[in-house]
Structure 1
């Protein structure tokens, strides 16, 4: 498992992660989502909805991993979209992605 998925698991254990399309969109709208992960194998309609919402609310979006990988990292079944609600974790993810 790579560092991004490991950090996602750590953020989950710290209760700083929300998963599921509707819950993530709710977090984006409320301003609590600091970063959103979208699975690379997401359906087109889910991809468009999440991408549009993140861009209109200025929330960084990272396309990363498959739905199985994202789900496994947070200890759940398949997850297409995951939001990180902590600014510190979001900065850590941004550093990992940029390197």
Structure 2
């Protein structure tokens, strides 16, 4: 597993992430999200909504990982959209990419 996914697992255990499309979109609207992970195999409507919201709010979007990889990193099933809410985790993850 990549170092970025390991960091995502640490952020999850530290409760510095949002899980799910609607929850992450709400957190983006409230300016709480620093970085978004979107599964590369997500549905087209989900991709479009998340990409548009991230672009309009200048939030980095990572689409390198599949649902399975994101789920394994966070220890939960079927993770498609994950938002990182901590700037320290965001900085370190972007450096690793």
TM over 0.5, shorter chain: yes
Runs of 4+ in 1 over 2 A off after TM superposition: none
Query: Can you give the 5+ residue segments of structure 1 that lack an aligned partner in the other structure?
Result: none
CA distance in 2, matches of 1:53, 1:89: 21
For 2:95, the equivalent position in structure 1 comes to: 95
Compute the RMSD of aligned alpha carbons: 0.7
CA distance in 1, matches of 2:9, 2:75: 7
SS in 2 for 1:37: strand
For 1:15, the equivalent position in structure 2 comes to: 15
Q: TM-score, normalised by structure 1?
A: 0.95
Q: TM-score, normalised by structure 2?
A: 0.97
CA distance in 1, matches of 2:4, 2:94: 10
- Whether contact under 8 Å (1:36, 1:59) holds in the other structure is yes
Query: Can you give the 5+ residue segments of structure 2 that lack an aligned partner in the other structure?
Result: none
CA distance in 2, matches of 1:4, 1:77: 19
- Whether contact under 8 Å (1:69, 1:78) holds in the other structure is no
